[in-house]
């Protein structure tokens, strides 16, 4: 018996630090998980716990020696012997292999934020309560992530109008409310109202089709959201959201573009010419038009969120304001202020369209 206890002690991972994490589907209350091991700065979370926190289930299959996750796309499988997630006969690379630690199969934060978000079709909030910063190795953005993401390509149009169609994604919907203000006003409602108004402006004034990912109060998978943006004639994609924060004085509009489209413009040593990505140009046009309408803009930031997809389709995610700011909340709820924002967004898009047309014509 004593030997057995010694053996167990030896099997315990001595180099691991115990940690805790919060996990939540975006818009839901976070679930705190305390059976977490941290190794070289990377948190390892038991797969069953992580699934439970995002409303999925799964089980260990001792015959195939793999863990099977039930998803709406079929069974997804991971194994401690493999650095891939297998689903419907396809293999998707993982940043870190799942590991057995202390008797449970565990996955990392990267798995939760990327693959699990993809499997649930929702973005996931993840917070490490004991980040082991000193020990954390530099975790570069790998090509692996790109392989597990939707690719949105910019189409080349030689003739005709530069913006043939616009896709708009009003964030959240249905049970996924997004941010809820103290007054009960929900982000999903604001996003939809602004999306519909902007769609109307674009259709009326530019005479182009506009595709909304949703036109009512219902939930969408990430795939469904991307469907509108993937349409053949879509030349521009706008995602609408709103924010909230614990510091009540923060306010204003924030613009996000894909991380790689932001960094592409940092001039490298020895390289004189740099070209701005279309997403950045579009974000700048939007920002300027908003500021001209006396709407505060906090800035243009890069986002590595999967919700933006990957690729080079001109894309900007607009955080319309802070529902945690009393005055801004009142404004965002008012039709007049919404119209003002929509008018500015239309102006920005219109200028972008004119600019890109000039660019093409100067090349001719
Ligand atoms: Zn949102």
* Confidence check: pLDDT of 132 > 80: no
Indicate the pLDDT class of residue 306, thresholds 50, 70 and 90. low
Q: How far is the CA of 188 from the centre of ligand 1 (A)?
A: 7
The residue among 220, 207, 213, 210 whose CA lies nearest residue 192 is 213
Size of the chain in residues? 364
Structure confidence by residue, pLDDT tens digits, 57-74: 999 998 888 999 998 878
Q: How far is the CA of 173 from the centre of ligand 1 (A)?
A: 10
Q: How far is the CA of 242 from the centre of ligand 1 (A)?
A: 5
Number of Cβ within a 10 Å radius of residue 157:
15
For a pLDDT cut of 70, what percent of the chain falls above it? 81
User: What pLDDT score does 64 carry?
Assistant: 86
* Confidence check: pLDDT of 266 > 60: no
Report pTM: 0.60
Q: How far is the CA of 254 from the centre of ligand 1 (A)?
A: 12
Query: Which is more confidently placed, 320 or 158?
Result: 320
Q: Which of 144-148, 247-251, 327-331 has the lowest mean pLDDT?
A: 144-148
Q: How far is the CA of 321 from the centre of ligand 1 (A)?
A: 11
Indicate the pLDDT class of residue 271, thresholds 50, 70 and 90. low
**Most confident stretch, 123-132, 219-228, 251-260:** 251-260
3-state DSSP assignment of residue 136:
coil
User: What pLDDT score does 2 carry?
Assistant: 55
The residue among 213, 171, 153, 202 whose CA lies nearest residue 27 is 171
- The answer to whether the CB of 329 falls within 8 A of the CB of 185 is yes
Q: How far is the CA of 272 from the centre of ligand 1 (A)?
A: 38
User: What pLDDT score does 264 carry?
Assistant: 54
Percent helix, strand, coil in the chain (nearest 5)?
35, 30, 35
**Cα–Cα distance measured from residue 364 to residue 352, given in angstroms and rounded to the nearest whole number:** 19
**Most confident stretch, 10-24, 38-52, 254-268:** 38-52
Please state, rounded to an integer, the average pLDDT across all residues of the chain.
Answer: 83
Contacts for 274 with CB less than 8 Å, ≥ 6 apart: 264, 265, 266, 267
Indicate the pLDDT class of residue 147, thresholds 50, 70 and 90. very low
- The answer to whether the CB of 169 falls within 8 A of the CB of 237 is yes
* Confidence check: pLDDT of 11 > 70: no
The alpha carbon of residue 305 and the mean position of all alpha carbons in its chain are separated, in whole angstroms, by 3
Residue listed under structure tokens 């995002």: 54
Q: How far is the CA of 331 from the centre of ligand 1 (A)?
A: 18
Q: How far is the CA of 320 from the centre of ligand 1 (A)?
A: 10
> Dihedral, CA atoms, 243, 247, 249, 254, nearest 10 degrees?
-30
DSSP letter assigned to residue 116: I
Mean pLDDT of 210-237: 90
Q: How far is the CA of 135 from the centre of ligand 1 (A)?
A: 32
User: What pLDDT score does 114 carry?
Assistant: 82
Indicate the pLDDT class of residue 141, thresholds 50, 70 and 90. very low
Mean pLDDT of 104-118: 89
Indicate the pLDDT class of residue 108, thresholds 50, 70 and 90. very high
Q: How far is the CA of 27 from the centre of ligand 1 (A)?
A: 8
User: What pLDDT score does 29 carry?
Assistant: 87
Q: How far is the CA of 288 from the centre of ligand 1 (A)?
A: 23
User: What pLDDT score does 341 carry?
Assistant: 98
Q: How far is the CA of 176 from the centre of ligand 1 (A)?
A: 9
DSSP letter assigned to residue 318: E
Taken in order of first residue, the domains within the chain and their CATH numbers are: 13-147 (3.30.457.10), 151-363 (3.40.630.40)
User: What pLDDT score does 180 carry?
Assistant: 86
The residue among 330, 361, 353, 307 whose CA lies nearest residue 117 is 307
Q: How far is the CA of 112 from the centre of ligand 1 (A)?
A: 19
**Most confident stretch, 84-98, 99-113, 329-343:** 329-343
Indicate the pLDDT class of residue 360, thresholds 50, 70 and 90. low
Give 116: exposed, middle or buried? Use CB within 10 Å, 0-12, 13-18, 19+: buried
Q: How far is the CA of 241 from the centre of ligand 1 (A)?
A: 4
Structure confidence by residue, pLDDT tens digits, 286-301: 999 999 999 999 999 9
User: What pLDDT score does 181 carry?
Assistant: 87
Q: How far is the CA of 243 from the centre of ligand 1 (A)?
A: 7
User: What pLDDT score does 23 carry?
Assistant: 93
3-state SS, 213-270, equals CCCCCCCCCHHHHHHHHHCCCEEEEEEEEEECCCCCCCCCEEEEEEHHHHHCCCCCCC
């Amino acid at each position: 018996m004593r030997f057995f206890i010694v053996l167990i002690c030896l099997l315990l991972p001595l180099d691991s630090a115990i940690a805790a994490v919060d996990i939540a589907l975006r818009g839901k209350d976070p679930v705190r998980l305390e059976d977490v091991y941290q190794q070289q700065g990377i948190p390892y979370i038991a797969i069953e716990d992580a699934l439970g926190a995002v409303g999925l289930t799964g089980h260990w299959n001792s015959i195939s020696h793999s863990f099977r996750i039930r998803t709406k796309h079929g069974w997804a499988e991971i194994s401690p012997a493999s650095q891939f997630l297998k689903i419907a006969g396809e293999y998707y690379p993982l940043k870190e292999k799942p590991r057995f630690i202390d008797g449970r199969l565990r996955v990392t934060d990267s798995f939760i934020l990327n693959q699990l978000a993809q499997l649930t079709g929702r973005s996931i909030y993840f917070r490490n309560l004991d980040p082991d910063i000193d020990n954390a190795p530099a975790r570069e953005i790998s090509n692996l992530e790109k392989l597990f993401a939707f690719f949105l390509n910019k189409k080349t149009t030689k003739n005709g109008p530069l913006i043939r169609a616009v896709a708009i994604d009003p964030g959240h919907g249905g049970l996924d409310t997004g941010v809820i203000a103290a007054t009960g006003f929900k982000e999903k409602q604001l996003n939809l109202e602004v999306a519909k108004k902007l769609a109307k402006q674009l259709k009326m004034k530019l005479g182009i089709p506009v595709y909304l990912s949703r036109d009512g109060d219902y939930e969408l998978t990430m795939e469904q959201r991307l469907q509108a943006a993937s349409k053949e004639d879509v030349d521009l994609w706008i995602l609408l959201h709103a924010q909230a924060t614990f510091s009540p004085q923060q306010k204003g509009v924030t613009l996000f573009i894909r991380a790689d489209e932001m960094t592409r413009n940092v001039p490298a040593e020895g390289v004189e010419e740099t070209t701005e990505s279309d997403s950045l140009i579009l974000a700048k046009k939007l920002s300027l038009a908003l500021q001209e309408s006396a709407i505060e803009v906090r800035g243009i930031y890069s986002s590595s969120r999967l919700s933006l997809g990957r690729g080079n389709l001109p894309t900007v995610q607009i955080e319309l304001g802070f529902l945690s700011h009393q005055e801004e909340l009142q404004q965002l709820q008012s039709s007049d202020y919404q119209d003002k924002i929509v008018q500015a967004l239309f102006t920005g898009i219109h200028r972008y369209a004119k600019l890109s047309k000039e660019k093409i014509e100067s090349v001719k």
